[in-house]
Amino acid sequence: MTGMDGRDTELKKELDATLQTRRELGEEYESALVDSFLEKVDQRIDGAVERRVRRHLAEQQMTAARDSRTPRPTDSFGERFGFGIVSLVLAVPLSGIGGGVAGLSGLLVTWAGVVAVNVVQAARTHPGLFGRRRPLQGDALDD
């Protein structure tokens, strides 16, 4: 039997057999019989613990797999704020250089680069931010 009741019944039968054997053989074999019975109990406990540990590990692996598929921002607020400050601080001298060397077109190229770097950073930290939306129920999915 594979259910818990089946294992309990088997263990009870083992105990009954051990007690019957002790009655037949006498007290001199009691220690060996008890050790044998306890070994069987120990094996059952080990099996039950092993099954529980395997089940728990499988549940943890499934939870980890589900969590790894969930997109999450990779940076904290402080890191995002720092990135924005650094990009603005660097934009000032780059604007001067671009405007001084190439005039208005150099200034536009410089700021296009600053904006592009910030857009890439925002897309990296917030997947799905630009242009992707989840389809509503009833919407057809385009292939």
How do residues 31-45 score in pLDDT, each as one tens digit? Answer: 888 888 888 888 888
> pTM of the predicted model, to two decimals?
0.41
Return mean pLDDT, the chain: 81
Residue that has been written with the tokens 């990135």 in this structure: 83
C-alpha–C-alpha distance, residues 20 and 10, integer Å: 15
Listed as ranges, residues in the chain with pLDDT below 70 are 1-7, 68-75, 131-143
Which residue from 17, 4, 121 is spatially nearest to 51, judged by alpha carbons?
4
Residue that has been written with the tokens 């019989």 in this structure: 33
| pLDDT given at position 72 | 55
